[in-house]
Amino acid sequence: MGFSGAQGRQVELNVRTTSGAALTSTNTWLNTLEAADTRGLVNLRADGERSGTTVGLSFGNGTYTDDYGTVSLTRSQLISEAQAGTTIVTMTAELRSGWGTDNSPQPLLALTTTGTNGVTGDPPIPVISSANASNPPPITFVGTDVRTAVQFFIDGQPATATLTCLAGQANGFCVNGNVSIDITQSLSVGLHLLQIQNPAGPLSEEMPICVGTKSNCNS
């Protein structure tokens, strides 16, 4: 819990993985890992050999750059070099620098009630009617270690929402207590998983949200 699904994933660039049908799979994985880096979830690194010399590159702003700023390559250039056999690197989704510091602990969300709500069973997860799916009403949770500048994810993808600290704020954090999350995007009918992330910190646990009825969310 707390880590992106991209964390620790690896893709190797060599003659085989950048040729023929394998290239499609390689690019698909790199699309995913580069997107995770751009969202601040991982640090995508490329380590290996380039023209017989050890090389280490970090992804950022669409390019792979070494620690000294002397080498900067696009993905296409790396793949071309791998196809030519002059570059062999392993791409790894690593932890970002400063991950999980005191200023960015793992935020936690909890339900404000217990028991059964008669719609999805026990526990009583938030339920949004299908009529409100295009404009979901704010949902109240118990929030712990939640910064006011959190990022939102729904089903693992960046989401648009706003957060209000119902118990007040202190030092850039909501005071541990109830928080209100207003999702400002349309949701499809069915079960969704909401997560929040403090800047450069671990992801929260996955909080289920039901849109629709029991039959839509318990299948």
- 185 plus 213 within the same structural domain: yes
Q: Are 194 and 115 part of one and the same domain? A: yes
Kindly state the average pLDDT of the residues 79-99: 89
122 and 208 inside one domain:
yes
Residues 6 or more apart in contact with residue 204 via CB below 8 angstroms? 2, 106, 107, 108, 109, 195, 196, 197
Range with the lowest mean pLDDT among 14-18, 40-44, 125-129, 130-134? 40-44
pLDDT of 219 above 90: no
Q: 18 in a domain, yes or no?
A: yes
Q: How confident is the model at residue 73 (pLDDT cuts 50, 70, 90)?
A: very high
Examine the domain organization and report whether 79 and 150 are in the same domain: no
Q: Is the pLDDT confidence value at 63 over 90?
A: yes
- 60 and 112 together in one domain: no
Lowest mean pLDDT among 24-33, 67-76, 80-89, 188-197: 67-76
What pLDDT, in 10s, does the model give residues 161-187?
Answer: 999 999 999 999 999 999 999 999 999
Asked if 194 and 125 sit in the same domain, the reply is: yes
Residues 116 and 82 in one domain: no
CATH number at 183 reads 2.60.40.10
Based on the domain organization, do 195 and 136 belong to the same domain? yes
Same domain, 113 and 204: yes
Q: Which of 61, 94, 127 is the last residue of a domain?
A: 94
Three-class DSSP labels, the chain: CCCCCCCCCEEEECCCCCCCCHHHHHHHHHHHHHHHHHCCCCEEEEEEEECCEEEEEEEECCEEEECCCCCEECHHHHHHHHHCCCEEEEEEEECCCCCCCCCCCCCEEECCCCCCCCCCCCCCCCEECHHHCCCCCCEEEEEECCECCCEEEECCEEECEEEEECCCEECCEECCEEEEEEECCCCCCEEEEEEEECCCCCECCCEEEEECCHHHHCC
The range of the structural domain enclosing residue 38 comes to 10-94
Residue 34 belongs to some domain of the structure: yes
The answer on 84 and 62 residing in a single domain is yes
Amino acid 7: pLDDT: 73
Residue 101, domain member (yes or no): no
Structural domain includes residue 157: yes
Residue 102 lies in a domain: no
Asked, for residue 123, whether it belongs to a domain, the answer is yes
- Domain-embedded: residue 118: yes
Is 146 inside any structural domain? Answer: yes
User: Which of 79, 80, 60, 78 lies closest to 69, judged by CA?
Assistant: 60
Number of domains in the chain: 2
Is residue 88 located within the same domain as residue 117? no
Same domain, 120 and 177: yes
